[in-house]
Amino acid sequence: MSAPRPARLAAPAVLADGRGLSGGMLRQLFIGQCMVLALHLAWMPAWLVALALAVAGYRLVQLRRRLPRAGILLRLAAVGGLVLALWLQFGTLGTMDGLVGLLLGVYLLKLLETHDRRDARVVVVIGLVTTAVAFLHDQGIPMAAGALLAVAWLLQSLVWLSGATGLRQAWRETAWLLALSAPLMAVLFVAFPRLGPLWSMPQMDRASTGLTDEISPGDIAELSRSDARAFRARFEGREPAPDERYWRVYTLSHFDGIRWSRATPDQLAVALERPGDAFVREGSRSPWQAQDGARFSAELLLEPDSRPWRPSLGTPLESDSRQRYLADGTLEGLTPLSSRSLLRLSSSGAPPVNPDPAGERWHRLLPDDTNPRTRTLAERLWRESGGDPDAYLEAMMARFGEAPYRYTLSPPRLVGEHRVDDFLFDSQAGYCTYYASAAAVMARMAGIPARVVAGFLGGERHPDGHFTIRDYDAHAWVEVWREGAWRRLDPTAVIAPERIEQGPQAVDGGAETFLADARFSPLRMREVGWVNHLRLEWERLEYRWQRGVIGYQRESRRSLMAQLVGWWREVWARLDALLPGRGAMTTALGLMAMLVVAAGLVLLARRGWQHHRRQRDERWLVGSLQAWLARHGLAAHAGESPAAHLRRIAPQAGPAGRALEECARDLERLAYAPLEEAERRQRRRRLSHRVAEVRRRLPRQRRGPSGAGA
């Protein structure tokens, strides 16, 4: 029979001198760098990959040809080049992307001067920090899974640096460390929700949706090309019907003849010489609306955005946190969102009922010398309606529903000075902004206060009940002031009712434009049953992750604690009802439980004190270690001293051999050397650590009950 093949071990972590790193350890560190870099590549420049390969290649050539180490000039030049490249990439190093890129670059360049175990540990620690920083970009499930793999690899590198001799042992100890940390992680997660400042790094100009606070005909049509997610919503109680899902974001009241734009409260206060609080108030309730008009209560999961807008289904009424309530019926946050955030909001589902403090005259303003053909049409319709505003608006809306007007996702481009004229009389084809802009202009030409509202319409309902609103759901409509309240007019509902009921994908002739910028979007395969099912399941899982894990805040912690307390009270009440005597028995059980707990605490304190005193006795420490070794087949010989015993078995103990040698040396120093009290305490503490290391590192085959493995 042939001899059994020896177990295959990985390359040693360190070279023969005990300090210099081998090629195997450098490869281990480089793989860790690649895993960490992969977490950032979706947001960081791709040339960082070339930097990582260049540094690793240089170290490989240096190791094989035994070249001298990288000098100070080379390292300074590398850092200077990194800073210059990042400055050219981002324009500044003051943004989050610039700072993260600098951290990544320094992490990669650190391999140039990594030559011993201390340097390698620094590389691993920087890698752990850089892994945590990746969550500033994204906190989804793929990022969490990738970060877990990177952390496991980095911890394995630390185990190699601590003296692991085999791949199996390294991964076993890594798994043990992760398993030990999991309960603590769960407790910290439940007891200490994520801190706001840690996750509020400035995102600068990063926006989650293309919706802006100024539009001209055709702008929103571009959003139909994108499937980017704007926000998600879950309703408590009644859900809105498709024709009720008007999510208002911006109120656009200024028209320059081409574009509709939003006048901010500060701009209105200056232009109209009014105090700022006449247009905006901070709080958790709207001061402009009656709170008894709430029809919908929703929990919104908002995407990160550099702008402070907050969507609301109709007019916002009340929120679970302080917000900025604007008099025009829109809502703003106090700060932009740097990460996904939850907002609970109740709303009316209808336009505002309060008059705008800017006044009716502000909402009638139009440039005098624009769109003359539209003005002539408005005058004719006004005469035909007998000067009745309601009849005029009805005639205006009916005109949009007549041929040859048509609704399209790819309308002809308008570039002239009189764009409303060009649309109404020449192209007669457009998207929601075309019709909303024309309707608002015609209303103002008749002296009716009007404004354009930009937001979203619709949203995809998932089987678990939550709605996803995306870029292609962007929409614009009109509000006119009639009989003491704002009234919604949506020309799209007249000319393309399928857009209201089914979304922009249902518009005739829009297949080529819809999702044109998202060629590989799974939404393109909604007609394939199993693909659509997988997509919905993944979005459901991701929504629950974002809402339950990432969105875990103080309110969630209070709710969880309240549930636990309620569960305990329910169990206690049932136990009290089942036991005879009830009150007396409950008191007796309570006293007994208190006595048991007190006795257990006293016993634990006594054992802890005894253990603490024994840890200060080197003879007890070594004696307990020798007894433990004897139970595992490594007993002392007759007349053999403890130090000699430990030195004799060290060569047989595998990875625990070095710790046994150090135990013997520390024991002799404590027994015979004239040590100061401070050094003696340090030696005892070190001896205790080495004893624990021996118990942990002794090879598994020696741990049989009879010591047969020896």
Write the DSSP symbol of residue 51: H
Longest dimension (CA), the chain: 122
DSSP-based three-state secondary structure for 426: helix
**Spatial contact of 62 and 69, defined as CB atoms under 8 Å apart:** yes
Torsion of CA 186, 187, 188, 190, to 10 degrees: 80
**Of 418, 475, 632, 645, which residue is the catalytic one?**
475
The answer to whether 131 touches 154, Cβ cutoff 8 Å, is yes
Which H helix or E strand runs over 430? Answer: strand 429-430
Residue type, 233: A
Who contacts 332 (Cβ-Cβ below 8 Å, separation ≥6)? 280, 308, 309, 310, 323, 324, 326
Structure tokens at 241: 């019907």
Structure tokens that stand for 449 in this block? 């206060």
* Calpha distance 422→441 (Å, rounded): 13
Alpha-carbon distance of 489 to 592, in angstroms, equals: 72
For 387, phi then psi, to 5°, come to 75, 15
Active site residue 34: no
String of b and e for 503-514 (b: at least 16 CB within 10 Å)? bbbebeebeebb
Segment (H or E) for 480: strand 474-482
List the structure tokens of 694: 């021996």
What are the residue ranges of helices labelled H in 579-617? Answer: 583-615
The one catalytic residue in 40, 490, 645, 666 is 490
Q: Hey, which residues does 234 pair with through a beta bridge?
A: 299
Rounded to 5°, angle at Cα 285 from 283 and 290: 150
Mark whether 475 is an active-site residue.
yes
Closest CA to 468 of 118, 671, 234, 287: 234
Question: 40, 254, 356, 432: which one is catalytic?
Answer: 432
432 among known catalytic residues = yes
Q: CA torsion 113→119→123→129, rounded to 10°? A: -130
Query: Which residues are catalytically annotated?
Result: 432, 475, 490
